[in-house]
Structure 1
Amino acid sequence: MTIAFTICSINYLAQARTLGDSLKSTNPDVKFFIGLVDSLEGIAFENPYTTEFPMIEIDKIEIKDFQEMAERYNITELNTAVKPFYFTYFFRHYPEATEVIYFDPDIIVFQSLEGLINSLQKHSAVVTPHITTPIEDQLTPNELHHLNTGVYNLGFVAFMRSEENNRFIEWWEEKLRYECLIDLCNGLFVDQNWMNFLPVFVPDTLIERNPGYNAAYWNLHERTFSFQNERFMVNGEYQLLFFHYSGYDPAKPEILSKYQDRFELADRTDLTELFGIYRNSLLSKGNAYYRKFPCAYIKPAPVRRYQRVRKFLKKPIQYVIGQLETF
């Protein structure tokens, strides 16, 4: 059995439902779950906004000291910090699962995952690099940004069941328990930089360079899209397996992604249909409705900043060669 899952808070359920629908139509044999970093206690969604996909609330997956993690992180950090813990949960509670695949909620799967599943029968894990060819300008993002934020994009990662992977995931859990921060000055960008170690610690990892995997704003300089024989194609040769709509807001349909300045959506007419499909799905599935729900576990930013400062001040202090250092 193959499990695919995503992680989100209630405010991203329109995206998660869109992903789930795409998997249901293209891969009906894949069991899909939503890992919900939120609480459903006291919440009753209006009829059009209930989801048929099983949601596993974060308090059900047995993360030690989870409340302390929640106090440490903002909503983006927390949603990424729990990723390895969900892998552990699925491998532990679904012994029939031979492979587990993670997709960010802002993804649409367009084709069968058969090729990916076949890869997981030959390789321990599969990741996709942000880019596979050099960038010829200094716009955002470029190679320097990817050095800061990770070689691989963790909107997707897949593992087969193995003891080697269990050890890696356990290590990954402990790193993200405390160091899943957006803190570029200290070499941290949520979970992504830690994944640079995956091909080192798990040598059988497949670095998937097929341009049909994880197409997104960061690799559009090397990919163009077309619709041929009732399927989307990349560079006229590869089937589009999944597109990652990171940074897209259906309320601002003219902006390809808020995280880049290389392309205008109006100039990339090869993307018009792909983004039209996504926008229509988000609007119909209640994007504006879900956005009104605050995450139950996230405190306001000033409170988090205060807690981080207090934690820092509690560290022991000593002078070393005339400089004040903390440990």
Structure 2
Amino acid sequence: MTLAFTICSINYLAQARTLGDSLKQTNPDWQYVIGLVDKLDGANLPAELIPPYPMLEVDQIEIEDFAGMCDRYDITELNTAVKPFYIDYFFRNHPEATQVIYFDPDIIIFQPLTRLSQHLTEYNMVLTPHICSPVNDWLNPNEMHHLNTGIFNLGFIGLQKTTESQRFVNWWKQRLVYECRIDLCEGLFVDQHWVNFAPIYHEGVWIEKHPGYNAAYWNLHERFFSEEQGVWRVNGEVDLQFFHYSGYGPYKPQDVSKYQNRFTFENRPDIAPLFDLYRQRLLNNRNDVYRTYPCVYIKPPKILYYQQIRKALKSPLNKLISTLENH
């Protein structure tokens, strides 16, 4: 059995529901779980806002130092740091799940993922690189950005339940307890850089370069889209498997992503219908309501401010400046 999951807080449940709806339509035999980095008992969601999918709250998956992680991390870091802990939980508590697959909530699945399922019978894990061909300008993101944020995009990872995968997950958990930070001066960008080591440390790692997998703003320079009889195609050659709408907001529908400045819907009209589709699905899934719910694990502003100052002071550049100013 294949178990697919995502991780989010209540304010992102519209995205998680949209992902779940697409999985239900395309891969109905898969089990889908929402890992919730939040608490439902204090939110008092009305019945119509309860997703029709199982939700597993993060404080139920037995993370030994979860309180410490909440103190160390902001909400983005925390949501990514718990990823291998969820995988480990599913490995331990769902023996029927021979394949465990993570998707970021801002993804739509467009096809039955039969190629992925096949690879997860042959390999221990499947990863997707951000890009598969050179970027020929210096707009954002370029190759230097990917050096800073990681070769692989961890908005997706698939694992077969094997001894080798368990070894990887155990190692990844250890690293993310303290080092799932956004700290580019220290070579860290949440959970992503650590997985650069996966193909080196472990056997049976498939690097998926199929252009229909994890299409997103960072690889639009190499992927063009068309719709043929209701099926989305990439480069006129293969079916689009899943699209990752990272950085897109339905209330700024003119922007492809807040993280890039290379493409617009004017110079890439081929992607406009894909984003119109996503925007409508988010609105149908009550994004306007969910986004008003604060996450219980978000630090109060004053605490968060001092936490950010403390992180900034760890920067080698700031340490050097401080040393020079004091002498």
TM range (shorter): over 0.9
Corresponding residue number in structure 2 for 1:266: 266
Partner of 2:235: 235
The whole-number CA distance in structure 2 between the counterparts of 1:26 and 1:159 is 20
Give the match's secondary structure for 1:233: strand
Structure 2 CA distance for aligned equivalents of residues 246 and 201 of structure 1:
29
Distance in 1 (CA, whole Å) between partners of 2:244 and 2:103 is: 9
- C-alpha change, 1:311 and 1:230, in structure 2 (3 Å) is closer
SS of 1:266's equivalent in the other structure is coil
The residue identity in structure 2 corresponding to 1:39 is K
Task: Give unmatched runs, 5+ long, in structure 1.
Answer: 314-322
- How far apart, CA to CA, are the structure 1 residues paired with 2:257 and 2:147? 20
Structure 1 segments (4+ residues) deviating >6 Å:
308-313
Q: Distance in 1 between matches of 2:159 and 2:258?
A: 30
State how far apart, in whole Å, the 2-side matches of 1:21 and 1:247 are: 20
Over residues 133-185 of structure 1, what are the superposed CA-to-partner deviations in whole Å (9 max), with x where a residue is unaligned? 00110000000000000000000001001111111101100111101111111
Distance 1:142 1:219 in 2: 10
Following superposition, the deviation at residue 202 of structure 1 comes to 1.4
1:119 aligns with 2:116: no
Matched residue, 1:43:
43
User: Which residue of the partner structure matches residue 162 of structure 2?
Assistant: 162
Query: Which secondary structure state, in structure 1, belongs to the residue aligned with residue 226 of structure 2?
Result: strand
Structure 2 residue aligned with 1:88: 88
Distance 2:310 2:247 in 1: 33
- Equivalent pairs, count: 315
Alpha-carbon separation, structure 2, partners of 1:282 and 1:4: 20
1:32 aligns with 2:32: yes
Q: Distance in 2 between matches of 1:310 and 1:127?
A: 33
Residue in 1 that maps onto 2:317: none
Per the TM alignment, residue 267 of structure 1 is displaced from its structure 2 partner at its CA by 2.3
Percent identical residues: 59
Aligned to 2:100: 100
TM-score by length of 2: 0.93
Residues in 1 aligned to 2:259 and 2:308: alpha-carbon distance in whole angstroms: 27
Evaluate the alpha carbon distance shift between residue 221 and residue 309 of structure 1 in structure 2; reply closer, same or farther with a 3 A threshold: closer
When residues 73 and 107 of structure 1 are mapped into structure 2, their CA distance, relative to the original with a 3 A threshold, is same
How has the CA–CA distance of structure 1 residues 307 and 227 changed in structure 2, closer, same or farther, with 3 Å as cutoff?
closer
Structure 2 counterpart SS, 1:7: strand
RMSD value over aligned CA atoms?
Answer: 1.7
Report the Cα distance in structure 2 between the residues aligned to 1:192 and 1:307, rounded to whole angstroms.
22
Distance between the aligned counterparts of 1:131 and 1:7, measured in 2? Answer: 24
TM score, norm. by length of structure 1: 0.93
Q: Does residue 1:204 correspond to 2:228, yes or no?
A: no
- Mapping of 1:1-327 within 5 angstroms? 1-307=1-307
Report SS of the residue matched to 1:97.
coil
Which residue identity is paired with 1:268?
R
**Structure 2: gaps spanning 5 or more residues:** 314-322
